[in-house]
């Protein structure tokens, strides 16, 4: 893909587990480590990235040459989302082929500027968008987001199996909302159970990249357009995102420099 070195999908089987929150914070963590990063919001019906990146309603991407669009910039990363094209207050009533068409256009007509990583914030499920992505562009890997809850885990399994079928390596699992952390008194509770991420990682021979607590600040900061990694760069949450980012960067470059090198000598 022009202007993009590595494509990483952030996915889950289920909605509401924190894909968009993880995508934006992971993107900002990679950016803080010196990489050039973009985010493509592939959730056509329920785009989140305008809000999470603090892009105001009505700001539109500029047209570029060759029928392309320039991504918007926020907090130092590039971004493209359906939310930049339509009024998100109007309900979108589109048939499947139109949704796939809109996704393909964003995928092929965005003029990314020299990215090391393009993170794709996937919609929930294992449907048309997921297949289109795997078929149209070379995806370096997928990060699976799950809560420790059994039902979310069942859905995460479907997500992992789908990426395997289309030969996209699963880089690991992020267990989100693992522990409720009360910011007032510091007490903690495993609202969605414990150990789910480990079980699934073991079952599918992959790793838990990180565990994020359920906290008020993660939600408030993401939903107000200044995600944890930029608002509280020294917090435990931001450190966890930095660790996830390092592992993602490492495993993507490892998987792509794994081939033999051929050299000639006299």
Ligand X SMILES: Nc1ncnc2c1ncn2[C@@H]1O[C@H](COP(=O)(O)OP(=O)(O)O)[C@@H](O)[C@H]1O
Pairwise CA distance, residues 103 & 135, whole Å: 13
Among residues 128, 198, 223, 232, which is the contact residue for ligand X, using CB under 6 A?
A: 223
Q: Flag whether 16 is marked binding.
A: yes
Residues 168-197 that bind Zn ion (CB under 5 A): 182, 184-185, 187
Q: How many CB atoms lie within 10 A of CB 4?
A: 20
- CA 14 to centroid of chain Cα atoms: 14
CA distance 247 to 124: 24
Q: Should residue 19 be labelled a site residue for ligand X when binding is judged by CB under 6 A?
A: yes
The answer to the question of residue 12 lying near Mg ion (CB under 5 A) is no
251 is in an annotated binding site: no
Sign of CA dihedral 85, 230, 23, 4: positive
Q: Report, in Å, the least distance between residue 159 CB and ligand X.
A: 11
Piece of 43-51, 150-158, 166-174, 225-233 that binds Mg ion (CB under 5 A): 43-51
CA dist 165 → 138, 169, 194 (Å)? 14, 10, 28
Among 25, 31, 48, 49, which residue sits at the site for ligand X (rule: CB under 6 A)? 48
Question: Which one of 15-23, 59-67, 79-87, 110-118 is the stretch in contact with ligand X (CB under 6 A)?
Answer: 15-23
Question: Using CB under 5 A, which of 20, 49, 81, 238 touches Mg ion?
Answer: 20
Q: Which stretch binds ligand X (CB under 6 A): 87-95, 157-165, 217-225, 227-235?
A: 217-225
Is residue 18 annotated as involved in ligand binding? yes
Which of ligand X, Mg ion, Zn ion, none binds 214 (CB below 5-8 Å, type-dependent)? ligand X
136 annotated ligand binder: no
Q: What gap in Å lies between CA 149 and CA 146, rounded to an integer?
A: 8
Q: Which of 4, 8, 18, 103 binds ligand X (CB under 6 A)?
A: 18
**Does 48 contact Mg ion by CB under 5 A?**
yes
Annotation-wise, does 231 bind a ligand? no
Q: Check whether 19 is labelled as a binding-site residue.
A: yes
Using CB under 6 A as the binding rule, whether residue 120 contacts ligand X is answered as: no
The contact set with Mg ion (CB under 5 A) reads 19-20, 43, 48
The contact set with ligand X (CB under 6 A) reads 12, 15-21, 48, 176-177, 212, 214-215, 218-219, 222-223
């Amino acid at each position: 893909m022009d202007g993009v070195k590595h494509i990483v999908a952030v996915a889950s089987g289920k909605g509401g587990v924190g894909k968009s929150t993880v995508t934006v914070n992971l993107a900002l963590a990679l950016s803080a480590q010196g990489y050039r990063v973009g985010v493509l919001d592939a959730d056509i019906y329920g785009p989140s990235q305008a809000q999470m990146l603090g892009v105001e309603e009505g700001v539109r991407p500029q047209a570029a040459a060759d029928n392309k669009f320039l991504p918007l910039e926020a907090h130092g990363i590039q971004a493209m989302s359906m939310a930049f094209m339509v009024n998100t207050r109007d309900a979108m009533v589109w048939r499947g082929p139109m949704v796939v068409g809109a996704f393909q256009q964003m995928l092929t007509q965005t003029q990314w500027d020299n990215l090391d990583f393009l993170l794709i914030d996937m919609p929930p499920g294992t449907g048309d968008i997921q297949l289109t992505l795997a078929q149209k562009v070379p995806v370096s890997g997928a990060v699976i987001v799950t809560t420790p809850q059994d039902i979310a885990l069942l859905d995460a399994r479907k997500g992992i199996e789908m990426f395997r079928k289309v030969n996209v390596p699963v880089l690991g699992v992020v267990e989100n909302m693992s522990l409720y952390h009360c910011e007032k008194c510091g007490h903690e509770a495993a609202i969605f159970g414990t150990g789910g991420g480990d079980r699934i990682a073991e079952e599918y021979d992959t790793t838990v990249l990180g565990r994020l607590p359920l906290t008020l600040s993660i939600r408030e900061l993401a939903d107000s357009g200044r995600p944890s990694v930029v608002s509280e760069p020294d917090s435990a949450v931001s450190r966890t995102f930095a660790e996830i980012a390092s592992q993602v960067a490492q495993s993507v470059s490892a998987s792509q420099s794994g081939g033999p090198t051929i050299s000639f000598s006299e």
